[in-house]
Amino acid sequence: MIIWLADNWHVIVTSIVSALATLGLSYKAFGEKLFSHFFDRRLEAFKHERSRELEQFKHERNQEIEQLRGIIAHLSDRGKHSNEHEYVAVASLWEKTVDLYFATNMCVISFIEYPPLNSMPEEEVVEFLNTTEFSEQQKRLVSSAEDKERSFSHIVGRRYINAALNQVYGMNDSLLKQGIFVTNDLYVSFESFKDMCIKAIAQRRTEHGESFRTGLHADVEFLTHGKKDLEAMKATVRKRLLRE
C-alpha cells in the first residue's frame, strides 16, 4: 500500500487538486448566482419603491394642477364678469354725464322764448300754454299773473333748475351703485365734473327770481370749462371702453 501510494502520489495529488479546483469553481458559480439573485431582488424592490413614489408624486402634482386649473378658471370667469360690469358701468355713467351737462347748460343759460303774453288775448294765452309741458297749476299761475311774461319766464327757469337737479340725483345714484366697477381715476373724473355742475346749478337756484347776484362765478366756470372737460372725459372713457 505504501509502495502503491509512493508510486502513484502524483496521480493522487493531481486528482485532489482537480477536485478542489472543481469544488472552487462550483462555489464561485454558486456564490455568483446567489449574489445575482440577491441583487435582482434588491433591484426589483428598489424599482418598485421608486415606481410607487413616482406614482404618488404624479398623483399629488395632478391634484395641484387641477386645483390651479380651477383657480385660473375662477379668475378668468371673474375677470370676464368684472370687465362686463365695468363696461356697462362706464357707459352708463358717461350717458349720465352727458345728460347732466346739457341739463346744467340749459339751467345756466336759461334761454327762454315766449310770445308777447301780456298783450295777447286770454284765449290765445291759454292756447299757447297748452302747447307747453306746464302742469295745470303752472298754467293757471301764468294766466292769472299780472305780468304773464315774467311768470312764464320764472316757471321755465325753475323747470330748468329742477331738470338739472334730477340729473344730479341720477348721477349720484349711478355713482353709488356702479362706481365700484369703475377705476379710481375715472371715478374721480366723474365726481369732479358732477361737482362743477352742482355748483353752477346751486348758484342759479339761489339767484332764481331774485334781482341780485350772489357774487359766485360757478356759472362762468361751467360755461368756460364744461365743454372742454366733457370732451376730455369722452376721450378717457373711449380709451377705457375700447382699450385703444
pLDDT at 111: 81
Confidence of residue 176 (pLDDT cuts 50, 70, 90): very high
pLDDT(66) > 70: no
pLDDT at 33: 58
Say what the pTM is. 0.66
Q: How many CB atoms lie within 10 A of CB 184?
A: 8
pLDDT at 73: 45
pLDDT at 123: 92
For residues 238 and 74, which has the higher predicted lDDT (pLDDT)?
238
pLDDT at 96: 96
Rounded average pLDDT over 134-157:
92
Confidence of residue 114 (pLDDT cuts 50, 70, 90): confident
pLDDT at 71: 45
pLDDT(189) > 90: yes
CA distances to 65, 108, 209, 236 from 182, rounded to whole Å, are: 33, 29, 39, 12
User: Tens of pLDDT along 76-104?
Assistant: 444 455 678 888 999 999 999 999 999 99
For residues 2 and 219, which has the higher predicted lDDT (pLDDT)?
219
Q: With CA atoms as reference, report the closest residue to 131 among 108, 115, 149, 154.
A: 115
Residue 70 CA, distance from chain mean position:
20
pLDDT(72) > 50: no
User: Can you give the three-state secondary structure of the chain, one letter per residue?
Assistant: CHHHHHHHHHHHHHHHHHHHHHHHHHHHHHHHHHHHHHHHHHHHHHHHHHHHHHHHHHHHHHHHHHHHHHHHHHHHHHHHHHHHHHHHHHHHHHHHHHHHHHHHHHHHHCCCCCCCHHHCCHHHHHHHHCCCCCCHHHHHHHHHCCCHHHHHHHHHHHHHHHHHHHHHHHHHHHHHHHHHHCCHHHHHHHHHHHHHHHHHHHHHHHHCCCCCCCCCCHHHHHHHHHHHHHHHHHHHHHHHHHCC
Q: Pseudo-torsion of CA 235, 237, 240, 241, nearest 10°?
A: -110
Alpha carbons 37 and 240: distance in angstroms, whole number: 74
The domain limits of the chain are: 83-242
Rounded average pLDDT over 37-43:
62
**Average pLDDT value for the chain:** 79
Which residue bears the cell 371715478?
187
User: Tens of pLDDT along 3-38?
Assistant: 554 555 555 556 655 655 555 545 555 555 555 655
